[in-house]
Amino acid sequence: MSDIQRAPKGTFDRLPPDSAAYLAARDALVAPLLTAGYGYVETPVFEETAVFSRGVGESTDVVSKEMYTFDDRGGRSLTLRPEFTAGVMRAFIEHRLYAGPLPAKLWTVGSAFRYERPQAGRYRHFTQVSVEALGVDDPALDAELVALADAGFRGLGLTDYDLQLTSLGDATCRPQYRELLVQFLAGLDLDEDTRRRAAINPLRVLDDKRPEVQAQLADAPLMVDHLSEGTRAHYDAVRQHLSDLGVTWVEAPRLVRGLDYYTKTTFEFVHRGLGAQASIGGGGRYDGLSAALGGPDLSGIGYAVGVDRTILAAQAEGLDIPVTGGTDVFVVHLGEEAKRFAVRLVGQLRAAGVATDTVYGGRGLKGAMKAADRSGAARVVVVGERDLAGGVAQVKTMATGEQVAVPLGELAESLRASV
């Protein structure tokens, strides 16, 4: 098979019938947002590169190693989005949503792209549900976001995961903590790449997954132990609101996540059944992101959930994602006149909101009934020339095998009422 006949490395195709489970998982993750006042937003798949380099952070692996960046024909540097928040914030600024009611509650879903080493649960093309609440700094809003993400997972039946929670401080306490961390890191045996990263953002070193680095970080100072009075009060309030909402969490003082813009509340959902790629979603507050992109100095909080990882988590727990929709009625026709009748009947039923399909390509009865069985339809209508002459069609209930003759004039209404 040639390269033009296969998807690029690290990407995939979604095909039926498995794609139905993807749609169901996506919709379950979105469902809590529709009850909480969040509106759908759509941004371009690519942005000016600076949107991500400034917003996500130069020290991150996302910006330094993983972005798909290219020059267009006008010489502009563009990048396929590696995440959604920076692009949504750009839209928030460009369209002056900050001048309207706040917080601006927004959600989106779609593909993002990162040049990573493909492995189980990690792709170069992946799908996220991304949620943002912009313009208001309120610990109750932080708790709402966390609870909505949790509700999405619970709605799918997931239970075998932990919500990890911490605070990364803000401009009032981060500088002092940074000095402590820089002093600590200066005494470690780190390679040059890690030291360069530490010079830009020393907190990123805490996110290093290499065992030899983690072993040296055992006694590293932690941000949560050096919060200012205000950020401590904010974090305490977030935890109180989460308790009031019935959301449980574990303290994760070393949680950094992979993006530079996080401040204050930071969280991650980690599934116990996924091995190395255990994160199924996460986010946090990003109080400086709007200003970094040239907008007003307003706060924001958001999260992203990986739809693909969530499906893997459901599989790890042995859960069947409930799939809605599908075919209700399948019409099998035998003969040209019966085919004309079948086409009209299918049109009538679809117009009445009944999911209906029929057979194409001149198959015989045996092949047509196989197609009907594969469709999963609850009822199969069989109509031939003799049936038309007799003014009836045969309706078979697939679950029981029962078959009855229904007058043609009553057929459409009878099938509609049975759905």
Domain containing residue 366: CATH number: 3.40.50.800
| CA 80 – CA 70 distance, rounded (Å) | 9
Residue 92 exposed, middle or buried by CB count within 10 Å (0-12, 13-18, 19+): buried
| CA 60 – CA 257 distance, rounded (Å) | 10
Average model confidence (pLDDT) across the chain = 92
Q: Higher pLDDT residue, 344 or 59? A: 344
Mark which of 317, 349, 366 sits at the end of a domain.
317
Q: Which of 156, 182, 200 is nearest to 22 (CA)?
A: 156
Give the confidence band of 259 by pLDDT, cuts at 50, 70, 90. Answer: low
How high is the pLDDT of residue 4? 84
Q: Which of 67, 17, 13, 20 is nearest to 322 (CA)?
A: 20
94 labeled binding residue = no
Per-residue pLDDT tens digits for 320-376? 998 877 899 999 999 999 999 999 999 999 999 999 999 998 888 999 999 999 999
Asked, for residue 178, whether it belongs to a domain, the answer is: no
Let me know: does 106 contact 136? Beta carbons within 8 Å.
no
**Other beta carbons less than 10 A from residue 253's beta carbon:** 14
**Does 307 share its domain with 334?**
no
> How would you write 274-337 as a 3-class SS string?
CCCCCEEEEEEECCCHHHHCCCCCCCEEEEEEEHHHHHHHHHHCCCCCCCCCCCCEEEEEECHH
363 labeled binding residue = no
**Does 28 share its domain with 122?**
yes
| CA 151 – CA 156 distance, rounded (Å) | 9
263 forms beta bridges with 285
Average pLDDT value for residue range 52-76: 83
**Does 300 share its domain with 401?**
no
DSSP state for residue 65 in the 8-state scheme: I
How high is the pLDDT of residue 236? 98
**Does 301 share its domain with 366?**
no
In angstroms, what CA-CA distances link 390 with 78, 343, 387, 405, 410?
67, 19, 5, 10, 14
Whether residue 204 is predicted with pLDDT greater than 90 in this model: the reply is no
**Does 405 share its domain with 262?**
no
Q: Which amino acid is at 343?
A: V
336 labeled binding residue = no
Structure tokens given for 205: 């070193």
Q: Which amino acid is at 127?
A: T
**Does 142 share its domain with 253?**
yes
Longest dimension (CA), the chain: 93
Task: Identify the residue whose tokens are 């049936």.
Answer: 387
* DSSP helix/strand/coil, 156: coil
**Does 164 share its domain with 235?**
yes
Report percent pLDDT > 70 for the chain.
98
114 labeled binding residue = yes
Mark which of 317, 344, 369 sits at the end of a domain.
317
Q: How far apart are the first and last CA of the chain?
A: 44
Asked, for residue 207, whether it belongs to a domain, the answer is: no
How high is the pLDDT of residue 347? 96
pTM for the full predicted model:
0.89
Average pLDDT value for residue range 182-210: 84
Asked, for residue 3, whether it belongs to a domain, the answer is: no
**Does 405 share its domain with 364?**
yes
DSSP state for residue 167 in the 8-state scheme: E
Total of domains in the chain: 2
Let me know: does 106 contact 70? Beta carbons within 8 Å.
no
Per-residue pLDDT tens digits for 129-159? 999 999 999 999 999 999 999 999 999 999 9
Find the angle CA(389)-CA(392)-CA(398) to the nearest 5 degrees.
135
Asked, for residue 209, whether it belongs to a domain, the answer is: no
Asked, for residue 200, whether it belongs to a domain, the answer is: no
Asked, for residue 205, whether it belongs to a domain, the answer is: no
Q: Residue 393's domain spans which residues? A: 329-417
**Does 290 share its domain with 344?**
no
Asked, for residue 163, whether it belongs to a domain, the answer is: yes
83 labeled binding residue = yes
Q: Cite the beta strand spans of 63-115 per DSSP E.
A: 69-71, 77-80, 104-113
115 labeled binding residue = no
In angstroms, what CA-CA distances link 72 with 47, 55, 63?
11, 21, 19
269 labeled binding residue = no
Whether residue 287 is predicted with pLDDT greater than 70 in this model: the reply is yes
341 labeled binding residue = no
**Does 340 share its domain with 301?**
no
40 labeled binding residue = no
Find the angle CA(305)-CA(310)-CA(311) to the nearest 5 degrees.
145
**Before 103, cis peptide (omega within 30)?**
yes
Q: Which amino acid is at 148?
A: L
Long-range (24+ apart) CB contacts under 8 A made by 405-408 are 408/341
DSSP state for residue 73 in the 8-state scheme: T
Asked, for residue 359, whether it belongs to a domain, the answer is: yes
CATH code (residue 78): 3.30.930.10
**Before 32, cis peptide (omega within 30)?**
no
User: Which DSSP string do the residues of 331-365 spell out, in sequence order?
Assistant: EEEESHHHHHHHHHHHHHHHHTT--EEE--S---H
H or E stretch including 128? strand 125-134
169-208: b or e for each residue (b if 16 or more CB lie within 10 Å)?
bbeebbeebbebbeebbeeeebeeebeebbeebbbbbbbb
Give the confidence band of 260 by pLDDT, cuts at 50, 70, 90. Answer: low
**Does 291 share its domain with 159?**
yes
Mark which of 317, 338, 357 sits at the end of a domain.
317
H or E stretch including 269? strand 263-271
**Does 336 share its domain with 395?**
yes
Task: Identify the residue whose tokens are 């959902």.
Answer: 269
